[in-house]
């Protein structure tokens, strides 16, 4: 197990909180829902959180690849050390649509 870089952890926490704020802004109003190829739902909130998280992770750690549920085709595999970001910008989209409050932002550094 590697030691946790506190500065990195704090930066990623800020990204997750900002994505959560973007999601909650959309949660409080009417929003559009589309269907992905696998028939699962995709909302404006999924797309907004994905865009924010990916952009900010690229600024923070440009050397690390990102595997996001909302754009798996952009992932070419982990770096030479086996590391990558694993992101589900809005985990619980169906619950988000139901407005039951049971959804999260997930960002993990896989090593």
| Domain assignment of residue 36, yes or no | yes
CATH of the domain at 89: 3.30.540.10
- Whether 60 is covered by a domain: the verdict is yes
Question: 8 CB contacts (<8 Å, ≥6 apart)?
Answer: 60, 61, 109
pLDDT score, position 2:
62
pLDDT band at residue 1 under the 50/70/90 scheme: very low
Q: Each residue of 44-76: pLDDT tens digit?
A: 999 999 999 999 999 999 999 999 999 998 999
CA-CA distance, 92 to 96, in Å (whole number)? 6
- 1 part of a folded domain: no
Per residue in 93-111, pLDDT (tens digit) is 999 999 999 999 999 999 9
The answer to whether position 82 is within a domain reads yes
Query: What DSSP designation does 111 have?
Result: -
Would you say residue 77 lies in a domain?
A: yes
Report the number of secondary-structure helices (H) and strands (E) in the chain. 3, 5
Please compute, for residue 5, the number of CA atoms within 13 A of its CA located in the half-sphere on the CB side: 7
Residue range(s) defining the domain that contains residue 11: 6-110
Question: Tokens 């896989």 sit at which residue?
Answer: 110
* Residue 75 in domain: yes
């Amino acid at each position: 197990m590697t030691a946790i870089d506190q500065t990195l952890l704090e930066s990623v926490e800020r990204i997750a909180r900002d994505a959560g704020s973007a999601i909650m802004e959309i949660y409080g109003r009417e929003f559009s829902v589309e269907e992905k190829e696998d028939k699962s739902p995709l909302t404006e909130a999924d797309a907004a959180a994905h865009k924010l998280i990916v952009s900010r992770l690229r600024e923070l750690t440009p050397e690390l690849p990102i595997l996001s549920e909302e754009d798996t085709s952009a992932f070419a595999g982990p770096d030479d050390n086996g590391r990558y970001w694993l992101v589900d910008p809005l985990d619980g989209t169906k619950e988000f649509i139901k407005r039951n409050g049971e959804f999260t932002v997930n960002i993990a550094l896989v090593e």
